[in-house]
Amino acid sequence: MPSTSEPLRKLGFLTIGLFDEADPRKGHESTLEIIELGERLGFDSAWVRHRHLQYGISSPVAVLAAATQRTSRIELGTAVIPVGWENPLRLAEDLATVDVLSGGRLNPGVSIGPPLHFDRVKGALYPDTADVEDFGYERVRRLLGFVRGEPATDTAGVEGFEVFSNRVQPFSEGLGRRMWYGGASLRSAQWAGENGMNFLSSSVVKAEESEDFAAIQLSHVRTFRAHHPDGDRARVSQGLVVIPTDSASPDQRAKYHAYAAQRLPRTTTPQGPARLLFAPDLVGTSEEIAERLYAHVAFQEIDEVAFALPFTFDHDDYVQILTDIATKLGPALGWKPAS
Which long-range contacts (C-beta less than 8 Å, at least 24 apart) are formed by 135-138? 135/83, 135/84, 136/112, 137/112, 137/191
Tally Cβ neighbours within 10 Å of residue 33: 14
Share of the chain above pLDDT 70, in %: 99
Segment 229-234 shows an average pLDDT of 98
- Answer whether residue 123 shows pLDDT above 60: yes
Length of the chain: 339
| pLDDT computed for residue 6 by the predictor | 78
Of all residues in the chain, what percent are helix, strand and coil, respectively (each to 5)? Answer: 40, 20, 40
- Contact criterion met (CB below 8 Å) for 276 and 270: yes
Q: Which residues contact 325 (CB under 8 A, 6 or more apart)?
A: 11, 13, 242, 244, 286, 307
- Answer whether residue 1 shows pLDDT above 60: no
Round to whole Å and give the CA distance between 143 and 125.
19
| pLDDT computed for residue 2 by the predictor | 42
Average pLDDT of the residues of the chain: 96
State the pLDDT confidence band at 4, using cuts at 50, 70 and 90.
Answer: low
Q: Give CA angle at 98 (198, 60), nearest 5°.
A: 75
| pLDDT computed for residue 3 by the predictor | 47
Segment 226-238 shows an average pLDDT of 98
Segment 294-315 shows an average pLDDT of 96
- Contact criterion met (CB below 8 Å) for 146 and 167: yes
3-state secondary structure of 287: helix
> Looking at this protein, which amino acid is placed at residue 277?
L
- Answer whether residue 203 shows pLDDT above 50: yes
| pLDDT computed for residue 255 by the predictor | 98
- Contact criterion met (CB below 8 Å) for 116 and 56: no
- Answer whether residue 5 shows pLDDT above 80: no
Round to whole Å and give the CA distance between 58 and 313.
19
- Contact criterion met (CB below 8 Å) for 74 and 43: yes
> Looking at this protein, which amino acid is placed at residue 200?
L
pLDDT by residue (tens digit) across 101-117?
999 999 999 999 999 99
- Answer whether residue 311 shows pLDDT above 80: yes
Segment 230-245 shows an average pLDDT of 98
- Give the predicted TM-score (pTM) of the model: 0.96
Round to whole Å and give the CA distance between 224 and 226.
5
- Domains of the chain: residue spans and CATH: 10-332 (3.20.20.30)
Segment 242-268 shows an average pLDDT of 97
| pLDDT computed for residue 236 by the predictor | 98
Share of the chain above pLDDT 90, in %: 97
Pick from 34, 30, 49, 39: nearest CA to 11: 39
- In the chain the beta strands, taken as DSSP E runs, fall at 10-15, 45-48, 75-82, 106-111, 157-159, 162-164, 180-182, 198-202, 204-206, 236-239, 242-244, 276-278, 282-284, 304-308
